[in-house]
Amino acid sequence: MVEYLKSRGYEADLLDMPTRNTADWKEALLGYDALISAGEKIPGETMRFLRGSLKVISRFGVGTDEMDHAEAVRQGIAICNAAGSFNRPVAECALGMMICLLRNIHLGNREVHSCDWSRFNESRNGEQLYGKTVGLIGFGGIAQTLARMLMGFDCHVIACDPFFNEEAAEKWNVKRVEMDELVRSGDVVCLLCPLTDETRDMVDAEFLRRMKKNAVLINTSRGGLINEYDLADALKKGVIAAAGLDVLRQEPVTPKCPLLGLDNCLLEPHIGANTNDAVEYAGMFAARNAADFLDGKKVATILNPDYVKNTRGIICC
């Protein structure tokens, strides 16, 4: 990224981050026209401090819920992302966790490492993904990529999304359903939606009680979608069969996380997007967005277009 930005005529620095919250070191950001963020928290405090200096925040990735969008608008700061850059690796991650949990691969791995050869234990037989009903909560780019992959398993794919893409649904043989039907009928339920005020703690005790007893829950979106105490209780009591989470409410995870130590809960350290190919592509996408914006070129992935009404009086490049 740095070499690319320099080739476009810009000075570029890699900054050491003492914490993941830019408010703790906002002084170090003064004088930069653009920030390329890899998921650091950028609250309103930081944006107010950088008004008149910072023009654009370009996300190295997709999710921007760690940024104060409303304050960015007020301060005339554009926010853009590398939309679609991680669709395939995150979809592959979700698919991998489905197969792992349905087939109990994670338990088999642990047992063999312990010299336990319990291959004829019927409780380890597991289920195949083939022919299962998979529910996608959210039907954006990642969900659509996953739906395409699931066609190879002859899965019955259902989805709900307030901005449902009918064309993609027809292409990948996805049926649109209401949330309640999806939760009750999914053998696998995948969370593929953004974290908003409406979706925060969406998966609670009542949600989990509506799921099938043998169902698997997958979350590759944001940890805040799930009430982890309710999920831990449901997993312990057999309300659902298993869960696979690439994201947690508190990252990095702490010993207080109620999901730690549960055999039927597969946890990953938010690495669903981390493949070498995807990281390189997303980095170049983010760098190109920043350079294009500063050059006055159109950036298709501006997420807060209202920022323009508050740019008066701000010195632009």
Residues marked active site are found at 222, 251, 270
Do 22 and 42 form a contact (C-beta atoms < 8 A)?
Answer: yes
